Amino acid sequence: MNQEILNKAGEIVEKNTGMGTYCVLALIDLDGYPTASTITASKADGINWITFCTGLGGTKTNRVNKNNRASVCFNADDYNITLIGTMEVITDPDVKKEMWYEGLANHFSGPEDPGYCVLRFTTERYNLLVDWKEVRGML
């Protein structure tokens, strides 16, 4: 049953990426307090990793550079997927191009924009409520 819930959670996360979708990203701010914000996930590999696109030198990247611990939550009436792990800032041009989606054009000139970067979240542990079944564990 656990693997079934893990697989379903991964499918839900992957379906909730790209323009028009949102999740909650929690980071530790520069004063050591938790902060949560709504953000669009760019792409995901199930619950293994999720990428986000943001501005280099912005609030989120500054927080990640100081403390890379993070949590991501996808929720709706019938599920709550909470993932805990670490975040890294990626400026590799190939990764930036791969993670680009149309909605980012409102903020950046294109995937080559020097102010654009990718945040990659890697899950270490999870707390899943899918189909009213709860599963907790580590990856």
pLDDT surpasses 80 at 69: yes
What does the alpha-carbon distance between residue 34 and residue 134 come to, in Å, rounded to a whole number? 25
**Overall domain count for the chain:** 1
Give the CB-side neighbour count of residue 68, counting CA atoms within 13 A.
13
Domain extent for 17: 2-138
pLDDT number for residue 113: 96
What does the alpha-carbon distance between residue 50 and residue 31 come to, in Å, rounded to a whole number? 25
Do residues 65 and 121 make contact, with C-beta atoms less than 8 angstroms apart? no
The number of beta carbons lying within 10 Å of the beta carbon of residue 61 is 18
pLDDT surpasses 80 at 1: no
Q: What is the pLDDT of residues 22-50, one digit of tens each?
A: 999 999 999 999 999 999 999 999 999 99
Q: What's the predicted TM-score (pTM) here?
A: 0.94
The number of beta carbons lying within 10 Å of the beta carbon of residue 91 is 12
pLDDT number for residue 72: 98
* Domain at 72, CATH number: 2.30.110.10
pLDDT number for residue 102: 85
Q: Mean pLDDT of all residues in the chain?
A: 96
